[in-house]
Structure 1
């Protein structure tokens, strides 16, 4: 398949990976996660040896549409978790053994703000899997009705979808750190 025949999500992921997974970027990421509109893409490798894994239906907009734009209710979140897990498990991606997953995308500014950084300058932040799990737990508790749990989390479906995809990728593919690049 030619590059021009790939979906916009797929092309964007490959362009980001070729730029951000290269040598001299200040990190040793094992893979890049692109949470696209309709699907998400995991890109592994370096240089000409990039390999892509498509998570069909696991895009931020695709998931948020199910939720009518805001946070999902508990039932819809459970279904989305199952669907994203199925997409991840359907790929031949190997567990990363605690490696680094690089993310550069639509929720970067929100995530940096949540850890006290601005995006005025190029910022890079290492977010441990435990922090992603904590945010996801807060989101789940807020969805279940906790008044205080969701404080500080953006109340939009695309952020919730992106956080869900990140959490599931880190959990099932064993990434220990998420590098967020503005």
Structure 2
């Protein structure tokens, strides 16, 4: 996993503006990788003990997860996200190359492009659908999949963005690695002092 995180960081870094701080969030099945820096090599790589399968297996006993299970998962994820505070460089742009995050961007209404900007408000909108399903809203009224790993990925993304003060995330499809990365829209960088 750590090699995949380093490769993804290098691909993003090769297309990012020189010396612009970037943070890569890579949500795996058992771990989540965070790489950050301003150079070709990341200044920091951190592996967090949470992932789509691990978090869903450890925290969600029902399908869909109950409201209490979601609250407990939030506490577990918050503790791991806190370990990444030092990797969240001020003024950095947050990136992801994850397929599930790409799916979330499309569900939130982002264009099906090589690079999409998914805002924290859009992530909150998706999370509200997860919470509504947990409260008993019929699946026919919710646009997100009834998949525990999707729910865990959404929860990890939401908590990471919220607690590390990212207003948006640049979501790259695999093909975008060889295409110039578009600069983030306003609000895409980590807020100073956040």
Fold agreement, TM-score > 0.5? yes
The CA deviation at 1:69 is 8.4
User: Residue 48 of structure 1: CA displacement?
Assistant: 2.2
- 2:44 is aligned with 1:51: yes
Q: What SS does the corresponding residue of 2:64 show, helix, strand or coil?
A: coil
C-alpha displacement of 1:50: 3.2
- Segments of 4+ in structure 1 off by > 3 A? 68-71, 94-99, 147-150
TM-score (norm 2): 0.75
| Separation in structure 2 between the aligned mates of residue 62 and residue 73 of structure 1, nearest angstrom | 17
CA-based RMSD: 2.6
C-alpha contact 1:55 1:84 (8 A) present in aligned 2: no
Distance 1:166 1:174 in 2: 12
Pairwise CA distance, 1:21: 2.5
| Aligned partners of 2:78 and 2:159 also within 8 Å | yes
Conserved? CA contact 2:36–2:88, under 8 Å: no
Question: What is the alpha-carbon distance in structure 2 between the residues aligned to residue 148 and residue 19 of structure 1?
Answer: 38
Distance 1:43 1:83, change over 3 A: same
Q: Which moved more, 1:63-72 or 1:45-54?
A: 63-72
- 1:1-182, aligned counterparts within 5 Å? 9-24=1-16, 30-45=22-37, 46-56=39-49, 58-66=50-58, 67=60, 70-93=63-86, 95-96=88-89, 99-114=92-107, 115=109, 117-118=111-112, 123-147=114-138, 151-182=142-173
Cα deviation code 1:85-104 (max 9, x no counterpart): 00111344255557431111
Q: Structure 1: which 5+ runs fail to align?
A: 1-8
Q: CA offsets per residue over residues 97-125 of structure 1, 9 Å max, x none?
A: 5743111113144224312644xxx6211
| Deviation readout 1:8-33 (Å, 9 max, x if unpaired) | x22211111111122358xx672110
My pick for the range that moved more, 109-118 or 9-18, is 109-118
Q: Deviations over 1:28-51 (max 9, x none)?
A: 672110001111111111312431
- Segments of structure 2 that go 5 or more residues without pairing to the other structure are 174-194
